[in-house]
Amino acid sequence: MSVTSNSRPLRMRTCAGCRERHPQSEMIRLRYVKDRMVIVRSGDGTAGRSIYLCPSEGCWHRALKRGRLIFKSAKRDRAVVHLDPREREQLLYRLKSYTREMGSPN
């Protein structure tokens, strides 16, 4: 029997933009907590209402195109968030700065 440092199976998540499935660890997670959106590392935190996105601007634009984000939890609890154009711009800006930070080593 072999023991690896990461014995958990690779969790796959669907991107809200391109609808492709990727390993959770490679994705950006948006959580919806107490009526606000929080961008977290995909491995962080407990379950909750979330959206997963590729670290790619094209996916963010596709996900935000309709001005509506649907956050879902494993318990099928969901929250629909409507964004006006200004809020969309703000979220894109936050995603951009977040991925810039991700790119730098800890």
- 19, burial (CB in 10 Å: exposed 0-12, middle 13-18, buried 19+): exposed
Instruction: Pick between residue 17 and residue 48 the one whose CB is nearest to Zn ion.
Output: 17
Query: Which residues contribute to the site for Zn ion (CB under 5 A)?
Result: 15, 17-18, 54, 59
Shortest approach of Zn ion to residue 4 CB, angstroms? Answer: 28
Least separation in angstroms between CB 54 and Zn ion? 3
Between 66 and 75, name the residue whose CB sits nearer to Zn ion: 66
Give the nearer residue to Zn ion in terms of CB position, either 37 or 51.
Answer: 51
Per the listing, tokens 């959580």 go with: 31
Q: Which residues pair with 68 in a beta bridge?
A: 82
Q: Give the residue among 58, 13, 8 at the shortest CA–CA distance from 31.
A: 13
| In the complex, least distance from residue 24 CB atom to Zn ion, rounded to whole angstroms | 13
Nearest distance in Å: CB 92, Zn ion: 14
CA distance 67 to 81: 8
Q: Which is nearer to Zn ion, 15 or 91 (CB)?
A: 15
